[in-house]
Amino acid sequence: MTSLLALVAFTSATQAEERPALPALKTEGPASVSGVSSGAYMAVQLWLAQSPRFEGGLATVAGGPYACAGSVFEALGPCLGRSPLNDVALLARAQAALASGALPAQPRGGRAYLFAGARDTIVAPSTTAALATQLQALRPELALQLETGVPATHGWVTRDQGSACDQMQPPFLLACGFDLASALLQHLHGPLQPRGEAAAGTLQAFDQRAFHAGADLADTGYVFIPQTCAAGGCHVHVALHGCRMNGAAIGEAFARHSGLNEWAASNRLVLLYPQTGAAATNACWDWWGYADAGFAGRQGAQQRAIVAMLERLAAAP
């Protein structure tokens, strides 16, 4: 029995060691970032705290203001729209982060696409409206688009993948007849080439352990690489899942069926899908400090892990 257990342990360890590394693809330029729910909050943190690295643009789905929550009580209360948000206080938090150096100096402009489902009962549309107010104050010349007209509940919206638009259930993909992937990428990157096929690229698992030692990130992340990007020269879009949407909860559903891959394949975009791990509360990204008191600043551990992934993608093969 002892020898059998040792063999199982050795086999498991060997399999873990054989997980492929994130490839070096000689990607270019600033990245863009999108996220849903907790991923939307993390996207805002990355866009502000890691500027100018993410000046390719910001897109949020069911998200709220930067530094909205400093505790789980704030996260589950006003930041979900269950009590009014104070726009003045939220702007003051961001300005304090700028003054302390937790955030770098911000450019005046940029591009942001904010989506709030009209039937979202988890993150109220008013929370996303507060984000719009905050970002517009921080960046007065921001090109911001706020979409609130789709009758979606809480989740990532697609043309035809997932459950009914008003049904919130795993894998939290909502078939609303609205091409969210196209809308956000076009706002961030300008006119797109026609939608391609996911088969024109490859979704690969990669080892995330090289970028972050904590169990709040999973061992495995995903990257979609269009065939045209194998030789380098492509930009990167980071797509962040929401709570209860990581690989352990829904497998590759978000990474395969978000609708982003098809547009990336025809528009020379590498898609990075980082994944939270077993120690991540409810599989959420850290947007209230469950893993790191400095979660919202430029030294936030999960942020630095994602930045390190971008640096790896930008390296020469």
Nearest 5°: the CA angle 67, 72, 77 is 80
Q: Which residues contact 13 (CB under 8 A, 6 or more apart)?
A: none
Catalytic-residue membership of 266: no
Q: Whole-angstrom Cα distance, residue 104 to residue 97? A: 9
Q: Which two tokens stand for residue 154?
A: 């809480």
Name which of 277, 137, 281 is nearest 209 in CA terms: 277
Catalytic-residue membership of 258: no
Catalytic residue among 32, 154, 235, 286: 154
DSSP state of 68: -
Name which of 297, 308, 292, 113 is nearest 221 in CA terms: 308
Catalytic residue among 120, 179, 216, 286: 120
DSSP state of 159: S
Catalytic residue among 34, 37, 38, 258: 37
Catalytic-residue membership of 120: yes
Q: Which residues contact 70 (CB under 8 A, 6 or more apart)?
A: 288, 289
DSSP 109-137: --EEEEE--TT-SSS-HHHHHHHHHHHHH
H or E element in which residue 99 lies: helix 87-100
Q: Which residues are catalytic?
A: 37, 120, 154
